[in-house]
Amino acid sequence: MNYHGVLQRYCHLSDLPDYSQTITLFEGNTPLIPAPRLAEELGGGFELFIKFEGLNPTGSFKDRGMTAAISEAVGREAKTVICASTGNTAASAAAYAARAGLKAVVLIPQGKVAAGKLAGAVAYGAQVLQIDGSFDDALAMVVEISERHPIALVNSINPYRIEGQKTAAFEICDTLKQAPDWLCLPVGNAGNISAYWAGFKAYHEHKFTGLPRILGVQAQGAAPLVLGHAVEQPETVATAIRIGRPARGEQALQAAEESRGQIIAASDESILAMQKRLAKEGLWVEPASAAGLAGLAKELQAGKINLQGKRVVVICTGHGLKDPDIITKAMAKPNTLPPKLEALEEIIIP
């Protein structure tokens, strides 16, 4: 049994101020799932693991950083926290603020947040405000208001978010006994890729676990780090990473360069195709979460990456339940049968 959240488990490696007061929902400790059949389909000759971060308490990796950000905010007696969000940060901030007895205010881009995320933020009792603009507009607003008023900002600009999110890298090294050769993950506001790289470096200093090469994947219509400039009107089916001006963009590029990795873009079609393929492994992830693997598949198909004998970890950042509409909108309506055995037999017995 594991009665610790990520801050307690890795307290010796998380750089939080002494005044912090731990607020946890027992996040982390997510499974690293081998996917040999999928590796074979992608060309074979390498080991593939999926770290399913959708199994955190609010259904995304954001909980690792949020336990840290809220613990610090409570320690300095903040009463209100605020964030801009494409959805998952909002739900996570709302849940951890609720647990701490704080007020949460979340700003989301109008009409572009998946149903399960909006519902989560509301269910946990946050004040939800829609902005007639993009995530980037909302982020600029929360940064400014938190400078003017005593409201704690819990976006990943907050350094404690990164401290918490580093723990995912520690878990991977603890499970595999070393860092993988490659780590693939989706990139939006670029907090997570920055946190993983910092985490792997810290663990290597501590335990000589080695360093992975990092493949960061943006959606084609929201790929400022690939294009080399901000995208004013980002568009992608992967609404979680519909971000045109990543706050930690420079750090993400540095992580890719230092690790001898890369940041690339994947098309919406390839992201949705990979979401379907992952479901065949029993893993239902939200579209953005399939982007890392979609990017890896693209590099393999183009012969741009050689994985022979290598070990690869792909991060699936959020659960499919967050965005049910993407599935139900595209599906055929289920057959309706009369409540008669013969009707059922006719349909399912060959």
CA neighbours closer than 13 Å in the CB half-sphere of residue 134: 19
| b/e burial code for range 243-269 (CB count within 10 A of at least 16 → b) | bbbbbbbebbbebbeebebbbbbbbbe
Q: Which is nearer to ligand AN7, 116 or 180 (CB)?
A: 116
Contacting residue, 27, 72, 268, 286, with ligand AN7 by CB under 6 A: 286
State the nearest-atom distance from the C-beta of 64 to ligand AN7, in Å. Answer: 11
Lay out the site mask for ligand AN7 across 86-115 (x = CB under 6 A, - = otherwise): xxxx--------------------------
State the nearest-atom distance from the C-beta of 214 to ligand AN7, in Å. Answer: 12
224 binds ligand AN7 (CB under 6 A): no
State the nearest-atom distance from the C-beta of 121 to ligand AN7, in Å. Answer: 10
CB 216 within 8 A of CB 252: yes
187 binds ligand AN7 (CB under 6 A): yes
DSSP string, 93-128: HHHHHHHHT-EEEEEEETT-S-HHHHHHHHHTT-EE
State the nearest-atom distance from the C-beta of 7 to ligand AN7, in Å. Answer: 19
Q: Which is nearer to ligand AN7, 20 or 56 (CB)?
A: 56
Phi then psi dihedrals of residue 266, to 5 deg: -125, 145
Q: Which is nearer to ligand AN7, 268 or 286 (CB)?
A: 286
CB 140 within 8 A of CB 243: no
Largest CA distance in the chain: 69
274 binds ligand AN7 (CB under 6 A): no
Q: Pick the piece of the chain touching ligand AN7 (CB under 6 A) from 187-195, 226-234, 273-281, 327-335.
A: 187-195
191 binds ligand AN7 (CB under 6 A): yes
Residue with tokens 């946990």: 124
Taking the C-alpha atoms of residue 278 and residue 30, their distance in angstroms, rounded to an integer, is 17
Lay out the site mask for ligand AN7 across 150-179 (x = CB under 6 A, - = otherwise): ------x-----------------------
CB 263 within 8 A of CB 208: no
Which residues contact ligand AN7 (rule: CB under 6 A)? 60, 85-89, 156, 186-193, 240-241, 286, 288-289, 317-318
